Amino acid sequence: MDGIFLQQLINGLTLGSVYGLIAIGYTMVYGIIGMINFAHGEVYMISAYLAAISLALLAWFGIESFPLMILGTLVFTVVVTGVYGWVIERVAYKPLRNSTRLAPLISAIGISLILQNYAQISQGARQQGVPTLLEGAMRVDIGSGFVQLTYTKIFILVAAFAGMALLTYIIKYTKLGRMCRATQQDRKMASILGINTDRVISYVFVIGAAMAALAGVLITMNYGTFDFYAGFIIGIKAFTAAVLGGIGSLPGAMLGGIILGISESLFAGLINSDYKDVFSFSLLVLILIFRPQGLLGRPHVAKV
Amino acid sequence: MSQTFYKKGFLALAVAAALGVSAFAQADVKIGVAGPMTGANAAFGEQYMKGAQAAADEINAKGGVNGEKIVLVQGDDACEPKQAVAVANRFVDQDKVLGVVGHFCSSSTIPASEVYGDAGIISITPGSTNPQVTERGLSAMFRMCGRDDQQGIVAGDYIVDVLKGKKVVVLHDKDTYGQGLADATKAQLAKRGVEPVLYEGLTRGEKDFSAVVTKIRAAGADVVYFGGLHPEAGPLVRQLREQGLKDVKFMSDDGIVTDELVTTAGGPQYVDGVYMTFGADPRLLPDSKAVVDAFRAKGTEPEGYTLYAYASVQALAAGFNGAKKNDGEAAAEWLKANPVQTVMGKKEWDSKGDLKVSDYVVYQWDKDGKYHQLEKQK
């Protein structure tokens, strides 16, 4: 394996891990209330603005060291974005819980437009940017070639996988996770057994938003630039990742994100970048033809 | 009950205001200013508005156009072709403009100008450089800038003569403007005997170009040329540097002429050394001195396309005055036959609406995030 190929693999892995983080929000919400939250990409966009605001605030208070800055930014962004997720669910989806399936979908599109315009009006239409936080890179020689890894990219990989591991732990081993899984399996039964399903649904929105916020901080660190429209493309990609991995399945979202990122990166790197999206979506179509439930999704069983 | 009263009251007020405005505006010369006022390229729309407003104020202070005042109407196309056509239709049907300064992205200017052409409205674009803008036989379409085929020749020659590029990568953003420019540069490179080692398109709106950057590394390139705009150029040049390609020269076009390039690249250290082609800096011309000083006195820098928009309004006003009536077709005819003294010097147009003399030169960005016209051009 030469350096170039390995480099492309790592490029794809970083991109894919971020797709995976955002895909978690789509897949968890779908799993629990069977609705696609089209406003999720915009939640990510809001978190990018929050990250920039937090960095500016910290710099204003004179905090300059990297660990403090990133920790402060992460906490601030995750908490505030979580509040956004909670409010969106309360305002736009909860009142529509018992209406037709299409109603919350339309309301999600509305929320997405509101958030975009809100960011544009309150923060201006210009491109926003943050200064580079973590400079420098690591160079690993492999045979005749080499792999160049910026410290930012290493940080992204570590943080993304730590986030995913933490979430998997919460869902698998905590009381909150058990409530989530129970509500996902059968909402009515869960509520009969004394689980406050409305509250669990709120938690799921907060968790999804928090994961999007983690992605928002990481992407903002890596690319340094964003605007109010930034949530659109990445939202579509993350949604694709969720469907690819099997919508409703948590490991599926992470796997789907990584597969999407790597396939994009390898196709662009080895063949042609003009058609990389064509390739990713063809892959999606192929997988859905042979496995309509996605890679790790469970086949739909009609309840009698 | 009181609620109904308020509603009715507001309605009446709104109607009165609307009537009042339109009745008052009837006697003015309305000029539409169209460009990306929002979206990723809003910086250019801002430059357009700033320049056009200053020009309109000055012309109005000197007596206006055929005795009437110029009133500007803003149109936001966000560099979206669909939205550009909607703006054009609104200008024609609702605002009833007589002339248009716009648009910015060639992909917006081309469809919008069809609407203006049908309505007999004169339009002049300060920044659209794609050849097709003036190649479709429209009688009242002008530009205040050069064309991509001219810009591509300058860029191609510079890469061969000065940068001594042997392994050149040509990238574009798959848009009318970016790809047209990349093609023009590629054609000139081919003429000079340099075949690009890599020719590919990126996707507008994305930020991760690391796959392409690794490919550039694999190709062992010494010069990268990018036809496109700053929202993509910034992250691209940053990721080039981050993957260790410190010595690869990066050249782009007049789509990155804004301080926002520094923002999108993540700091001046990344744009240091970037080359770009752009019309000779109008701020350095003796004709523009008074206007530039006036801008600076108000605390704004007339960067990028500001003076181009200023000159476009001047040209429209000169056309209407020269034709002695506020009519688009007549003004277009007059402009093709007579030179106009603008803030950017004396300008003349050929029968297609292109400038007779284009003045592309090469600029370079420095480590403080500012750009300068290079002394050595050949």
Q: Count Cβ neighbours within 10 Å for each residue of B325-351 and write b for 16 or more, e otherwise.
A: ebbbebbbbbbbeeebebbbbebebee
Q: Is the pLDDT of residue B278 over 60?
A: yes
Residues 249-268 of A with CB under 8 A from B: 264-266, 268
CB A16 within 8 Å of CB A218: no
Domains of chain B plus CATH, in order, are 2-127+305-347 (3.40.50.2300), 149-278+360-373 (3.40.50.2300)
A226 touches chain B (CB under 8 A): yes
Q: Which of A63, A74, A90 is nearest to A212 (CA)?
A: A74
Which of A120, A273, A277 lies at the smallest CB-CB distance from B200? Answer: A273
B238 touches chain A (CB under 8 A): yes
Task: Report pLDDT for B231.
Answer: 92
CB A3 within 8 Å of CB A144: yes
Per-residue DSSP letter, B255: G
Question: Rounded to the nearest 10 degrees, how much is the dihedral formed by the CA atoms of B361, B366, B370, B375?
Answer: -30
B125, β-bridge pairs: B143
Q: Count Cβ neighbours within 10 Å for each residue of A249-272 and write b for 16 or more, e otherwise.
A: bbbbbbbbbbbbbbbbbbbbbeeb
Which structure tokens are listed for B341? Answer: 């003294």
Residue of B nearest to A116 (CA): B39
CA distance B216 to A296: 36
CA distance B323 to A125: 39
Residues 11-50 of A with CB under 8 A from B: 11-12, 14-15
Report ipTM (2 d.p.): 0.87
- Unique residue bearing structure tokens 């064309």: B147
CA distance A229 to B195: 37
- Mean of pLDDT values over A265-287: 89
Q: In this predicted model, which residue has the larger pLDDT, A64 or A237?
A: A237
What DSSP letter does each residue of A144-208 carry, written as one string?
TEEEEEEHHHHHHHHHHHHHHHHHHHHHHHSHHHHHHHHHHH-HHHHHHTT--HHHHHHHHHHHH
Task: Report pLDDT for B19.
Answer: 45
Domains of chain A plus CATH, in order, are 3-290 (1.10.3470)
B42 touches chain A (CB under 8 A): yes
Residues 79-118 of A with CB under 8 A from B: none
Query: Residue B166: what are its φ and ψ, rounded to 5°?
Result: -110, -45
Angle between helix A3-33 and A250-270 (nearest 10) = 150
A220 touches chain B (CB under 8 A): no
Q: Is the pLDDT of residue B336 over 50?
A: yes
Task: Report pLDDT for A133.
Answer: 82
B235 touches chain A (CB under 8 A): yes
Q: Which of B42, B145, B52 is nearest to B100 (CA)?
A: B52
Per-residue DSSP letter, A301: -
Inter-chain residue contact B218 with A4, CB threshold 8 Å: yes
**Test the A interface: residue of B38, B171, B245, B260 with most A CBs within 10 Å:** B38
User: Å from A120 to nearest chain B CA?
Assistant: 8
Query: Residue A140: what are its φ and ψ, rounded to 5°?
Result: -115, 120
CA distance A203 to A205: 5
Inter-chain residue contact B211 with A277, CB threshold 8 Å: no
Which structure tokens are listed for B326? Answer: 């506020």
Angle between helix A40-60 and A197-223 (nearest 10) = 60
CA distance B170 to A115: 37
Which of A14, A150, A223 lies at the smallest CB-CB distance from B207? Answer: A223
Residue B255 half-sphere exposure toward CB, CA atoms < 13 A: 36
- Mean of pLDDT values over A107-111: 94
pLDDT-derived band at B166, boundaries 50, 70, 90 = very high
- Mean of pLDDT values over B312-339: 93
CB B139 within 8 Å of CB B351: no
Q: Is the pLDDT of residue A82 over 60?
A: yes
CB A240 within 8 Å of CB A257: no
A122 touches chain B (CB under 8 A): no
Task: Report pLDDT for A147.
Answer: 87
Q: In this predicted model, which residue has the larger pLDDT, A19 or A138?
A: A19
Cβ of A288: how many Cβ atoms within 10 Å? 13
Inter-chain residue contact B42 with A265, CB threshold 8 Å: no
Query: In this predicted structure, which of A192-201, A242-251, A291-300 has the lowest mean pLDDT?
Result: A291-300
Most confidently modeled range among A42-46, A245-249, B267-271: A42-46
User: Å from B246 to nearest chain A CA?
Assistant: 12
**Test the B interface: residue of A7, A13, A22 with most B CBs within 10 Å:** A7
CB A208 within 8 Å of CB A40: yes
Mean pLDDT of chain B: 89
Q: Is the pLDDT of residue B152 over 90?
A: yes
**pTM as predicted:** 0.82
CA distance B97 to A81: 45
B219 touches chain A (CB under 8 A): no
- Unique residue bearing structure tokens 């007596």: B63
Which structure tokens are listed for A87? Answer: 């409010």
